[in-house]
Amino acid sequence: METTVNNNDTFYYPSKEIVRHANIKNYEELYSQSIADREGFWAAEAKKLDWYKKWDKVVDDSKKPFYKWFTGGKINIIHNAIDRHLKSATRNKLAIIWEGEPGDLRTFSYHVLNREVSKFANILKSMGARKGEVITIYMPQIPELVIAMLACAKMGAIHSVVYGGFSYEALAERIADSQSRILITADGGFRRGKATHLKSIANEAMKRSGTIEVCITVKRTGEDCYMENDRDFWYQDLMNIPLECKDCGTEIMDAEDALFILYTSGTTGKPKGLVHTHGGYAVYTASTFRNVFDIKPEDRWWCAADPGWVTGHSYLVYGPLLNGATIMMYEGAPNHPYPNRWWQMVEKYGINILYTSPTAIRGLMRFGASWAQRHDLRSLRLLGSVGEPINPEAWKWYHEVIGRGKCPIMDTWWQTETGGFMITPLPIMPLKPGSCAKAYFGNEVGIVDDHGNEVKQGEEGNLVIKNPWPGMARTILHDPERYIEKYWEKYSDKGWYLAGDSARIDEDGYYWIIGRIDDVIKVSGYRLGSAEIESALVSHPAVAEAAAVGLPDDLRGNIIHATVILKEGKVANDKLAEELKNHVENEIGPIARPSHVEFTDALPKTRSGKIMRRVIKARALGLDTGDLTSLEE
Ligand code: WTA
């Protein structure tokens, strides 16, 4: 990669090799076409998939903002992610290469993946699973997690994957909200050399939510765990039952039928179950993955995200399988037993594209370049980043040390709500460290003020999307009102989608994401809500009131700072602060553990009683607290 200086910004240009290799060579021209004829663009992308029946209408906007895509079309994402590959040479290709943290290795060809998914879909049916019901999955990063997701989709059930790092409260709440009757879990997984105890957490969650009738547990660690008669079954036992028909037909679905729900944190306490569909989501993830990561049949793709988050859904599982790609998947911690673990795997498996988060990069950067330099990383061609803004220092380290100065970095901006990449570079684009470059095809992005006027170049504003796109979440499960209120109300006169991020655009038309403007906190790229953490704190018997804010952190992007008012007679001390941190960890999970707990007598509030988190944050950082005229006390 050559570098040239332009307007005080350093542009990083792709090599001739990268350009020659690229699927898309003329972004500007294609982009203009995709905006001029959005439906035409998406129809052409949709035609690259197999449909049981072609759609009647590309987009139906008769009930805005509840857009529908490819209405009248019949499809199943599994037919495209697995079934159709069985008719070509892809059948014999590796679909998944998986390495466990202890070093065990398992591989699945598309043929074998189909067999496992079909068998498990049949088992789900024989256990009473029905088309259209929500099945909860709570698992470590093992191949059965992917098999379970695909099996649900194949038989027409809706999967709801809950991140394996969440604790029983969070799991119970998600099970209850979706009224799941079936839970798929594992005894545990391996992380930093230790076994986790997922089944015990699942047991506790089942006790609380009360809806689970069947729980299927994968044996991974072999640790003892309680299994309840008539409710709990071992996955391996079920898979060994010689069912008459091992082949399971793929259910024919409407394009708009739900494929999965995924819970994500918002501004209020209750997590939102965002709904994604078989048709539009398949078209969107297939298109974005193919074009942005320039995937070729010989590539080995590694998305290091956990499937429990949207990145894992769209770009560990669906996008790659829809394109017949080979996926690398790894169970454990990046620095176990040593900080070269990832680089060892890149070398061993000949990985061509690596997609991860700025937090992971910063975490590995901390150990120095020598851990990476002792490995041959020449197989890498492209790199990716997601989840939070990447600071230029980490971008440059990733580019120089991991990419040997030769691999363009695709910094992809998107959200659980968007289903796939919205603003992203393509391999042929000149790059600026820290910028996610330009809008993906079909999307018009605006940076606007509170009244909807475009802000000046270089100024900060609200990030909006001015058009519908096939990968958009269709609603919030059981709460369409909240879907409107959260995303569409602010600019309802214009019909724009409010992303909840602030951003700016520079003189070259490149976008720079600044961060969340709401009370969502991104810790290590994981999305948490202030209100979730606050309600966990308030559930402790000593706490009367609490406020949680994110403070900037060099490694994790943000850390959680909690301010707490104690109940009468409770004494503030270090021991209690520690106890409260543990309490939040038990209630939500280790990622939500506050780094600081501070005790106070009063929280700054507006006259209408809303906590002014902005003021708490400024105080914690020792900054000017700004305009306090609306403060109550
Ligand atoms: C942030 C993750 C800067 C952003 C896919 C967004 C990013 C939130 C980037 C969504 C990026 C994601 N640069 N910020 N490349 N990608 N974000 O739903 O604040 O877990 O709103 O989806 O992550 O988080 P979510």
CA of 311 to the centre of ligand 1 (A): 10
Q: What is the mean pLDDT of the chain?
A: 95
Q: What values do phi and psi take at 30, rounded to 5?
A: -65, -35
Closest atom of ligand 1 to 527 CA is 20
Residue 166, pLDDT score: 94
Residues 6+ apart with CB under 8 A from 505: 447, 457, 458, 511, 512
pLDDT at 262 over 60: yes
pLDDT grade for 623, boundaries at 50, 70 and 90: confident
Position 609 scores a pLDDT of: 83
Percent of the chain at pLDDT above 90?
92
Ligand 1 atom nearest to 526, measured from its CA = 20
* Strands annotated E in 143-242: 158-161, 182-186, 190-191, 194-195, 214-218, 232-234
Tens digits of residue pLDDT in 231-241: 999 999 999 98
Closest CA to 437 of 28, 32, 45, 37: 28
Distance 412 CA to ligand 1 centre (A): 8
Ligand 1, atom 5, residue with closest C-alpha = 415
CA of 290 to the centre of ligand 1 (A): 20
Q: What is the predicted pLDDT for the residue at 607?
A: 84
Residue 428's DSSP bridge partners are none
Ligand 1 centroid to 387 CA: how many Å?
4
Mean pLDDT of 124-138: 97
DSSP 40-81: HHHHHHHTTS--SB--SEEEE-TTTTS-EEEET-EE-HHHHH
Tell me the torsion sign for CA atoms 185, 190, 192, 198. positive
- The answer to whether residue 523 scores a pLDDT higher than 70 is yes
Helices (H), 220-369: 235-239, 279-292, 310-312, 319-322, 341-349, 358-365
Phi, psi of 125 (to 5 degrees): -65, -40
Cα–ligand 1 centroid distance for 612 (angstroms): 24
Task: Burial-class residue 193 by CB neighbours within 10 Å (0-12, 13-18, 19+).
Answer: exposed
Burial classification of residue 502, based on how many CB atoms lie within 10 Å of its CB (0-12 exposed, 13-18 middle, 19 or more buried): middle
Specify the length of the chain in residues: 633
The model carries a pTM of 0.95
pLDDT of residue 4: 43
Average pLDDT over residues 11-31: 96
Centre of ligand 1 from the C-alpha of residue 388, in Å: 5
| Confidence label for 246 from pLDDT (cuts 50, 70 and 90) | low
- Give the Cα separation of 171 and 588 in Å (integer): 9
Neighbours of 481 (CB within 10 A): 11
Strand order from edge to edge, sheet including 353-356: 105-109, 94-99, 326-330, 300-303, 353-356, 382-385, 409-411
Q: Which atom of ligand 1 is nearest to the CA of 264?
A: 18
Q: Among 267, 527, 528, name the best residue to mutate to test ligand 1's pocket (greatest count of ligand atoms within 8 A of Cβ).
A: 527
Q: How many degrees, rounded to 5, is the angle at CA 45 between CA 418 and CA 416? A: 10
Mutate to test the pocket of ligand 1, among 513, 514, 528, 558 (most ligand atoms within 8 A of CB): 513
Q: How confident is the model at residue 10 (pLDDT cuts 50, 70, 90)?
A: confident
Compute the average pLDDT of residues 467-487: 97
Question: What is the C-alpha separation between 299 and 320, in angstroms, rounded?
Answer: 11
User: DSSP characters for 287-302?
Assistant: HHHHHHTT--TT-EEE
Residue 39's CB is within 10 A of a number of other CB atoms, namely: 12
Distances (CA, A) of 509 to 85, 446, 456: 39, 11, 12
Q: How many CA atoms lie within 13 A of 157 on its CB side?
A: 30
Which protein residues touch ligand 1 with a CB less than 6 Å away? Answer: 264, 309-311, 386-389, 411-416, 436, 499-501, 513, 516, 522, 527
